[in-house]
Structure 1
Amino acid sequence: MSTWKKLGMGVLATGLALTLVGCGNSKSSSSSSSKMGKTLKVSADPSYKSYMKSVIPKFEKKYNVKVKVSYKAMLDEDDALKLDGPSGKGPDVLMAPYDRVGQMASQGQLTTAKLASGRYNAVGKKSVTYKGKVYASPVTIESDVLYYNKKLLKNAPKNFTELEKLAQNSKYAYANDKTKNVAFLTQWTNFYNSFGVIKGYGGYVFGDNNTNYKKIGLNNAGAVEGLSYMTKWFTKYWPSGMQNVTSNENFVTQQFTTGKTAAVIDGPWMAATYKKSKVDYGVAVLPTLTNGKDYQAFAGGKAWAISNYSKNKTAAQKWLDFISNNANQKSFYKKTGEIPANTVARKTASDSGDAMAAAVSKQYDKDVPLINLPQMAEVWTPAQTMMTNAAAGKMTPKQAANKATKTIKTNISQKYDK
């Protein structure tokens, strides 16, 4: 799934940042009553119709509350809340990707929520926390993983040293340029994918565990080392088309699904495409880096959140408690195939023989929660340009990192520090 990621983090986040101007906490939050209303308005993505039909009757019977469900694409509903909420047309409960939870909370669109104890690990909790307060209940987990072609590789490569050896094998020479190699491919021009390398070498986005936007670590020694390593793949191994940010993703997919590429790094949302192509693939955690450290990707996913404009926040909180319990999260996995955030349900999925669930779950625990500060909106595009400038040889990795960092600091200062 992960439509929010596929739209392009830079475009999405920049659009979100523009909505921050003039947004504040809604006065409607004070109008809610501690008593439970008789109707709860819930918005869900159309892909969840089957699941929603199975759980809504149980909730209605348990709490004697009528659920009025509307089906609307998640990102469309999130965008519409700033207008529909104040007018009374918006839902009481809706879903949002983790990075939008912080964005929407900062705009006063979400109210704080309570997490039932024992259902989430530290990464899950942090994903829905903004400025020390919880604003949603985690539903799914997502992470980049390694896909490998079982007909080409007996086992998944465990580190990048193994991947580099593959990249020197003429068996994987690129058809249109035999001096280049496609044994391993990934879209590192997308910062969502390249961040894990930078982090693994010692770089970071914001200071104090991504809570201090005034301190940026994309041009420290570790970040430059990680950027330099990725640049090596672009210049030494990969065809020049891998630098094209608009077509390289399709190129990676085409090469893997036609059996030209042995291994790729991408998210669980690609599984359906690979299955359709009938490629016999396996899934594994991300390979360790050349320094022996973990490839620490962004830990993504989606959460249920309560609209700050809701007049039935009591029932809305009951929905969050109910929908995230062990039984309903197990049911969610069976109905949707998406990996649940609830740790008990997640273990059930991982132990079921589902290689994707096992790989994502294991990798997720190594990952960094997707940054939900509003200032993250200013990072995606400059970080992408940082990679392309270094990959194309327009700048040294250090120069590219310095330029990106300067751009990010300037944009944050102009938009957020007035």
Structure 2
Amino acid sequence: MKNSWKRVWLGGLVLGISAVTLAGCGNKSSDQSTSSEASSSKVKGDVKLWVDTDHIAAIKGQVAKFEKANPDVNVKVKAGSSADALKDVSKDPDKAADVFMMPHDQIGQMAEAGLLYPIGKKQVTTIKKNNVDSAVQGVTWKNKVYGYPYGIESQVLYYNKSKLSANDVKTWDGLTKAGKLGTNFAENGTNYIFAPLFMSNGDVLYGQNGENLDGTNFNNQKGVEVLSWIAKQKSNPGVVQTNAAALANLQSGKIDAFLSGPWSKNDVKKALGDKMGVAAYPTVNFGSGDKQMKAFLGVKVYGVNQQTKSPLAAMALADYLSNEKTQEVEFNKNGVVPSNKQAQQTTKVKTDVVAKSVMEMSDTKHSVVMPKLPEMTTFWPPMDSLINDVYKGKIKSTQYQEKLDKFVTDNAKKTK
């Protein structure tokens, strides 16, 4: 997977939550930031900005426009890694960038560690008004907003239109009867793809809002049904276990479809050309009727360093780099699907098959916003093991309840 999201979530296992010790740096209140925000309409100061290397070209043009409108602000753009925002900022917040790209799932840990500047009420109102609900949820932690959303990301279904019809891919059964779906049930990384099956069947992960440590309820009959369904896929002739070789297998015709995200768009286009089809996830029948298969939703975010010496300038820059026009630039140059409602309505976005499917996936029916709890770092390995072992038959059906009980119990343990 070219995209950084999965590397971020697993990377947290190495970092743990040591950054939480930085909480002693102090946590500026939203009231403080609001009063500062409202006290002056003219911003000034030096601002260091970290953006992913492949975004620099697009962002530099927007920064130039921002500086022209704010002549007393000087912005220095440097290459950074959104995937490593938590790690890089926590090393030395005073020397880190004032504004930086980051994935939304790091917000909980960074907010708890005192690394993120809470956003003032005026800008919060603008963020909530202009962005889709899932993006707003992604940047909200304990009822405060800690980031500026500039894009949304979800997996979709890519398929060969010469082998499968739009009707075939509406259901898992129809898809795997009409063709072959290449996907990963047996190796590391299956957690990101198939953990949302539990939510597809009505269960919740860390509660309804993703912030309740003991709110996971996978250990019920619905959870057992999910594991039973996973086990059956081993003998489904329309399901081909494939992971890193998915694109090669798609091009060779060994498989006719696979699940991936916008990061695979160009590669799939090279492999299939005009035969490339894209759709939202199909429905799945766990035994009690069709349910919409869900995916995890990620939100691309600009965060503001709580230790910034130029908070007004930093927040103004983050706000500008996440506005409608900048999101349009990011889509046109980097394929980032906008979170801004108006940007989503532009002709280029609405007629792009990948963007259209991602936007469809962004509603609550199709996706679950990735929880922001620091404990998500300990969720991934056991979920991988559970799905892998059930698929391979190492865990028998009589053990499903026991394994789910243990998973839920362990999942509710607070990280140290």
Same fold, judged at TM 0.5 (above)? yes
Aligned to 2:210: 210
Aligned to 1:15: 14
Aligned to 2:259: 265
Aligned to 1:141: 152
- Give the 3 Å change call, closer, same or farther, for CA 72–339 of structure 1 in structure 2: same
For residue 94 of structure 1, give the secondary structure of its aligned residue in structure 2: strand
Does the 8 Å contact 1:28/1:310 carry over to 2?
Answer: no
Summarize deviations over 1:95-126 as a string: whole Å, max 9, x none. Answer: 11111122211221112124314211221111
Task: Kindly indicate whether residue 280 of structure 2 is the aligned counterpart of residue 282 of structure 1.
Answer: no
Does the 8 Å contact 2:160/2:272 carry over to 1?
Answer: no
Aligned AA for 1:100?
Q
Aligned to 2:143: 132
Once structures 1 and 2 are overlaid, which stretch shifts more, 123-132 or 75-84? 75-84
Aligned AA for 2:88?
A
Does the 8 Å contact 1:92/1:310 carry over to 2?
Answer: yes
Query: Equivalents in 1 of 2:350, 2:415: separation in Å?
Result: 48
Aligned residues: 392
Which of 175, 191, 214 lines up with 1:163 in the alignment? 175
Aligned AA for 1:53?
K
Query: Equivalents in 2 of 1:2, 1:401: separation in Å?
Result: 35
Deviation, 1:349, is: 5.7
Does the 8 Å contact 1:200/1:295 carry over to 2?
Answer: yes
Aligned to 1:184: 181
Deviation, 1:205, is: 1.7
Does the 8 Å contact 1:197/1:226 carry over to 2?
Answer: yes
Does the 8 Å contact 2:153/2:337 carry over to 1?
Answer: yes
Does the 8 Å contact 2:149/2:302 carry over to 1?
Answer: yes
Aligned to 1:226: 226
Task: Kindly indicate whether residue 41 of structure 2 is the aligned counterpart of residue 42 of structure 1.
Answer: no
Deviation, 1:391, is: 0.9
Deviation, 1:396, is: 2.8
Query: Equivalents in 2 of 1:341, 1:371: separation in Å?
Result: 18
Once structures 1 and 2 are overlaid, which stretch shifts more, 404-413 or 157-166? 404-413
Aligned to 2:109: 103
Aligned to 2:290: 292
Query: Equivalents in 1 of 2:60, 2:238: separation in Å?
Result: 47
Does the 8 Å contact 1:268/1:356 carry over to 2?
Answer: yes
For residue 153 of structure 2, give the secondary structure of its aligned residue in structure 1: coil
- Give the 3 Å change call, closer, same or farther, for CA 414–129 of structure 1 in structure 2: closer
Query: Equivalents in 1 of 2:177, 2:201: separation in Å?
Result: 21
Deviation, 1:46, is: 0.7
Aligned to 2:394: 394
Deviation, 1:274, is: 1.6
For residue 109 of structure 1, give the secondary structure of its aligned residue in structure 2: coil
Query: Equivalents in 1 of 2:385, 2:291: separation in Å?
Result: 25
Unaligned 5+ residue runs, structure 1? 168-182, 243-247
Once structures 1 and 2 are overlaid, which stretch shifts more, 327-336 or 397-406? 397-406
Aligned to 1:313: 311
Deviation, 1:128, is: 0.8
For residue 289 of structure 1, give the secondary structure of its aligned residue in structure 2: strand
Task: Kindly indicate whether residue 100 of structure 2 is the aligned counterpart of residue 94 of structure 1.
Answer: yes
Aligned to 2:334: 336
Summarize deviations over 1:346-403 as a string: whole Å, max 9, x none. Answer: 2226654210011111111131111111111111111111101111111135635643
Aligned to 1:237: 237
Once structures 1 and 2 are overlaid, which stretch shifts more, 69-78 or 98-107? 69-78
- Give the 3 Å change call, closer, same or farther, for CA 269–287 of structure 1 in structure 2: same
Aligned AA for 1:62?
A
Deviation, 1:410, is: 3.4
Once structures 1 and 2 are overlaid, which stretch shifts more, 137-146 or 36-45? 36-45
Task: Kindly indicate whether residue 81 of structure 2 is the aligned counterpart of residue 69 of structure 1.
Answer: no
Query: Equivalents in 1 of 2:350, 2:202: separation in Å?
Result: 35
Aligned AA for 2:245?
F
Deviation, 1:17, is: 2.5
Structure 2 length as normaliser, TM-score?
Answer: 0.86
Deviation, 1:323, is: 1.8
Structure 1 length as normaliser, TM-score?
Answer: 0.86
Does the 8 Å contact 1:40/1:315 carry over to 2?
Answer: yes
Aligned to 1:24: 23
Once structures 1 and 2 are overlaid, which stretch shifts more, 193-202 or 119-128? 193-202
Aligned to 1:179: none
Unaligned 5+ residue runs, structure 2? none
Summarize deviations over 1:1-35 as a string: whole Å, max 9, x none. Answer: 863234374x3232242424533142385999947
Task: Kindly indicate whether residue 360 of structure 2 is the aligned counterpart of residue 380 of structure 1.
Answer: no
Task: Kindly indicate whether residue 362 of structure 2 is the aligned counterpart of residue 364 of structure 1.
Answer: yes
Summarize deviations over 1:160-196 as a string: whole Å, max 9, x none. Answer: 22024226xxxxxxxxxxxxxxx11222452211023
- Give the 3 Å change call, closer, same or farther, for CA 96–384 of structure 1 in structure 2: same
Summarize deviations over 1:274-317 as a string: whole Å, max 9, x none. Answer: 22334531101111122222112111131001111111111111
Which of 345, 348, 351 lines up with 1:347 in the alignment? 345
For residue 75 of structure 2, give the secondary structure of its aligned residue in structure 1: strand
Query: Equivalents in 1 of 2:212, 2:138: separation in Å?
Result: 16
Does the 8 Å contact 2:250/2:271 carry over to 1?
Answer: no
Aligned AA for 2:221?
A
